[in-house]
Amino acid sequence: MRKFEATRIFVLRLMLGMATPAVSQEMAIGHSNESLLEFARNRNPEYAAMLAEVDAAVERVTPAGALPRAIA
């Protein structure tokens, strides 16, 4: 019984040890220029504000042409 428990603990530690580098590689930023740009975009409030302004401008364009022109 004790040998089974020791083997089980060894296997669990081995699995955790193998999984840790994979997790750290996914979380690492800077492995490419694109990852750095994505990191900056996701955390930049000014960029988020600019995107919101673009979305608002797109929504304003649609109602502007919704009604037919008035004939004078």
Q: pLDDT of 2-45, one tens digit each?
A: 666 778 777 767 666 655 555 555 667 778 888 888 888 889 99
User: Does residue 28 sit within a domain?
Assistant: yes
d(CA 24, CA 29) in angstroms, rounded, equals 10
| 70 lies in some domain | no
User: Which residues, including other chains, have CB under 8 Å from residue 41's CB and lie 6 or more apart?
Assistant: 47
Quote the pLDDT of residue 31. Answer: 83
Whole-prediction pTM value? 0.43
pLDDT at 19: 57
Residue 49 pLDDT exceeds 90:
yes
- Output helix, strand, coil percentages for the chain, rounded to the nearest 5: 80, 0, 20
- Residue 54 within any structural domain of the chain: yes
pLDDT interval class at 71 (50, 70, 90): confident
Confidence band (pLDDT; 50, 70, 90) for 46?
A: very high
In a domain, 42, yes or no: yes
72 located within any domain: no
Does residue 49 lie in a domain region?
Answer: yes
Q: How many structural domains does the chain have?
A: 1
Structural domain containing residue 7: 2-63
In a domain, 57, yes or no: yes
